[in-house]
Structure 1
Amino acid sequence: MKNISLILIAAFFTAWFLYIENLAQIPVFSTKDGPKAVYRGERDLALTFNIGWGDEKAEPILDTLNKEGVKAATFFLAGSWAERHPDIVSRIVKDGYEIGILGYEYKDYRDLEDVKIGQDISKAQEAFRKLNVKNIKLLRAPTGHFDERTLKIAGRYGYTVVHWSVDSKDWNNPGVPAIVKNVNKADKGDIILLHASDSAKQTAKALPLIMKGIQQKGLKLISVSEMIANGEASSREIR
């Protein structure tokens, strides 16, 4: 009986130790497996366009995509811009392209309180609801800058935050050759950042050359949602 008691006591303390050890590991696992921003996938290629403001460049870019036979692209639209351009939003949907949210106003989420981030996302949601754009699942931080708070808040609203792995730097208007060179770095699984706001004055001219490079590499263009759905998406931990 004495030996059995000792065994039971030892088993109890072993179980208690393992329980406490698991409790101590929870924060570690929570940090490791916490919110992440998708920035690339495993296969194919995704063209993404940000539109935060402007009246002139979106339609020429849509015309060029149509002319080049581009069937898949993802447009991240600011809710305030979408409200002012319902016809262009309708055309993006009609042309078969995916829409993601670029917030409502062009504000750096890192500078906002949690409640303000939530209000901006909610306001954008309402704008797209009124435009009858449904089932939006993707969000990109308006300025491209975000922190762990942004990811958690976006997750509560049901959005996956999407960054990029290749920056065309077209917003800086470095010249068509420079934009094409930047995009030509893209390979399988990359998410490419382009713009269709009025600041991107050279993007439409660069697109035919960009498409030529993509075709030469034998890569297929898909939407970001397709990239995420058809394979494990690489993600970067936010610390």
Structure 2
Amino acid sequence: MNFFYVLNSKSLKQFALIVVVSFFTAWFLYVENIVQIPVFSSKDGPKAVYKGEKGVALTFNIGWGDKNAEPILDILKEEKVNATFFLAGAWAERHPELVSRISKEGHEIGILGYDYVDYSEVKDEKISQDVSKAKTAFEKLKVDNILLARAPTGHFNQSALTITDQYHYTLVHWSIDSKDWTNPGSQQIIKKATSAKKGDIVLLHASDSAKQTVKALPEIIEKLQKKNLKFVTVSEMISNADSKSKEVH
């Protein structure tokens, strides 16, 4: 009987521990959904935004080529959707007419560096040089009030956050990666992109390497609209300061 009593006490203690742990886990997840937890940042330093609290933001990276940009702009214009385009400075210099069209049609422009530089693998001086060259390129093109930047390869570290912040840019990542650059088929791109929920930033590409994005885009827009999601630019999404970020180690 005593032996049974000891086992039963241990079971009760284990059960109580499980209940307590479960409670705090549920509470943490709840709080995470209502409180903005720093992500892609140090505790006190600049933050890289990957998600907001309102609408859904379609973002397009362009680093090279001119075959896909115009068809994508045509679709966005027809559907009355504004997006955010992250443009490489070198590409922008070669395609000033497309940069002008993107701006005139109400889309937001952010910088994608100047060259294809992995900010997580180069020295601070190289990051600063790349951001500075991009900034100068857009100034020459009369593109004013750029507020956003994105790491050219998507990889960055604390130095990149600090340097882009020194240039008064907010570094923007994403919460939904369509993987369109891998050309997995338009239906796979649609499936990934339309998994977006309120506050998501969707990564797409308008470079020539993403050969199936143009075909996928109309259905992406249609399905997200059916989910009653409003299309916003990244700046519109984060303007209420309710963006989410993540700690960089």
Shared fold (TM-score greater than 0.5)?
yes
Counterpart of 2:189 (choices 179, 195, 208) is: 179
Cα deviations across residues 70-108 of structure 1 (Å, max 9, x unaligned)? Answer: 1x2000000000000000000001111000000000110
Describe how 1:1-239 pairs up with structure 2 within 5 A.
Answer: 31-70=42-81, 72-239=82-249
Moved >4 Å (runs of 4+)? none
Percent identity of paired positions between Structure 1 and Structure 2:
64
Amino acid at match of 1:49: F
Residues 94-127 of structure 1 deviation map (CA, whole Å, 9 limit, x = unaligned): 1110000000001101121111110110000010
- CA deviation after TM superposition for structure 1 residue 230, in Å: 2.8
- 8 Å CA contact 2:42–2:158 kept in 1: the answer is no
Q: Give the drift of 1:34.
A: 2.0
Residue identity opposite 1:91 in structure 2: R
Residues 150-199 of structure 1: CA deviation (Å, up to 9, x unaligned): 00111111110000000011111111110000011100000000000000
Confirm or deny: 8 A CA contact 1:36 1:238 kept in the other structure: no
Give the alignment's TM-score, normalised by structure 1: 0.85
Q: Aligned pair count?
A: 209
**Under a length normalisation based on structure 2, what TM-score does the superposition of the two structures give?**
0.82
SS of the aligned residue for 1:32 comes to coil
CA RMSD across the alignment:
1.1
Unaligned runs of 5+ in 2: 1-40
Aligned partners of 1:35 and 1:238 also within 8 Å? no
Indicate the SS of the match to 2:246.
strand
Partner of 2:12: none
- The residue type equivalent to 1:46 in the other structure is A
